[in-house]
Every structure is written in structure tokens, then in C-alpha cells.
């Protein structure tokens, strides 16, 4: 049987992992977190999952890929289960998530620029370093000084 191939239901956890692309540990974790109802067990103690469980797991995986937290996914699952008109609420969650991503992108661009400046400085210093002074790194010195300044301000 190939990966993510539909299985007959009810299915054991290994089959569900294969079909959903999630690990067995992740499925157990989602169950413990209440994102998935507790599955019934066979007399031998194996968990059994039905088609609805598999659909829920796929929904959770997809929502996580969009960056939703487990609490937000729990909220989405409630909205989904209640069949409530939820578009405005989901729109607000998406808007909040997009704002957070945009802020992170801004932070990462600032980090990128800082790293590029530090790399240019390293390259420039290495070209102009006097023989025997190649081990003096101006970027390490700058980081050390900044950390010391920060420590003084904390005290």
C-alpha cells in the first residue's frame, strides 16, 4: 500500500498515520490535546479511527501548515463542528495571522540586513588586517561590547 493511500475504515493508528502524513506520536498528541475525540479500542487495545477522524486530522494538519496555533485550530474545529456561519471569525483569525507573518518578515529583513553588514565588515577587515591580526574579529568585539552595555543597563 502506497503512502497516503485511502484505507478501509475503521483503521488502526499506523494506517491513519500513513493516510494523513502525520506521525503516530503526533496523532496521539492531537488526541491528548482534545483536537481529536478519543478513539475506541479493539479488544486487543488498538485504537480505531473512522473516516471522520481522518478528515479531522487532515484538517488539523492543513490548519497548522497555515500557521494556526493548536488553540486556534481547536476554535476552528468547534466552528466547523457547529456548522455556524463562521466566515467573519475565520477572516479575523486569518487577518491576525497575516499581520503576525508580516511583522516576522519585517524582523527577518532587519536581521538579514544586519548579517549582510556584519559580513561586509568581516570581508573588509580580513582584506585590510595587518599580518598577525587575522584572529581579531571586529564583529565579535562589537557583539561583546553590545552585550556588556546591555548588562550594565540591566543592573
User: pLDDT of 63-120, one tens digit each?
Assistant: 999 888 999 899 888 888 776 667 888 888 889 889 999 999 999 999 999 889 888 8
Residue 39: its pLDDT value, please?
75
3-state secondary structure at position 35: coil
Residue 37: its pLDDT value, please?
83
Q: For domain 13-84, give the fold.
A: Multidrug-efflux Transporter Regulator; Chain: A; Domain 2 (1.10.1660)
pTM of the model as a whole: 0.63
For residue 55, give the DSSP letter: H
Domain ranges of the chain: 13-84, 90-154
Residue 55: its pLDDT value, please?
93
At 149, the pLDDT band (50, 70, 90 cuts) reads: confident
Residue 131: its pLDDT value, please?
66
At 3, the pLDDT band (50, 70, 90 cuts) reads: very low
Per-residue H/E/C for 25-84: HHHHHHHHCCCCCCCCECCCCCECECHHHHHHHHHHHHHHHCCCCHHHHHHHHHHHHHCC
Amino acid at each position: 500500500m502506497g503512502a497516503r493511500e485511502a484505507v478501509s475504515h475503521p483503521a488502526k493508528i499506523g494506517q491513519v498515520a500513513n493516510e494523513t502524513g502525520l506521525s503516530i506520536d503526533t496523532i496521539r498528541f492531537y488526541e491528548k490535546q482534545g483536537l481529536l475525540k478519543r478513539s475506541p479500542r479493539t479488544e486487543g487495545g488498538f485504537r480505531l479511527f473512522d473516516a471522520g477522524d481522518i478528515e479531522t486530522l487532515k484538517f488539523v494538519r492543513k490548519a497548522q501548515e497555515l500557521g494556526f496555533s493548536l488553540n486556534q485550530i481547536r476554535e476552528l474545529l468547534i466552528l466547523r463542528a457547529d456548522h455556524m456561519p463562521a466566515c467573519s471569525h475565520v477572516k479575523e483569525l486569518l487577518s491576525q495571522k497575516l499581520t503576525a507573518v508580516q511583522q516576522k518578515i519585517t524582523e527577518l529583513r532587519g536581521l538579514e540586513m544586519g548579517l549582510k553588514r556584519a559580513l561586509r565588515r568581516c570581508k573588509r577587515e580580513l582584506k585590510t588586517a595587518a599580518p598577525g591580526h587575522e584572529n581579531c574579529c571586529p564583529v565579535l568585539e562589537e557583539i561583546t561590547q553590545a552585550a556588556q552595555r546591555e548588562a550594565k543597563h540591566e543592573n
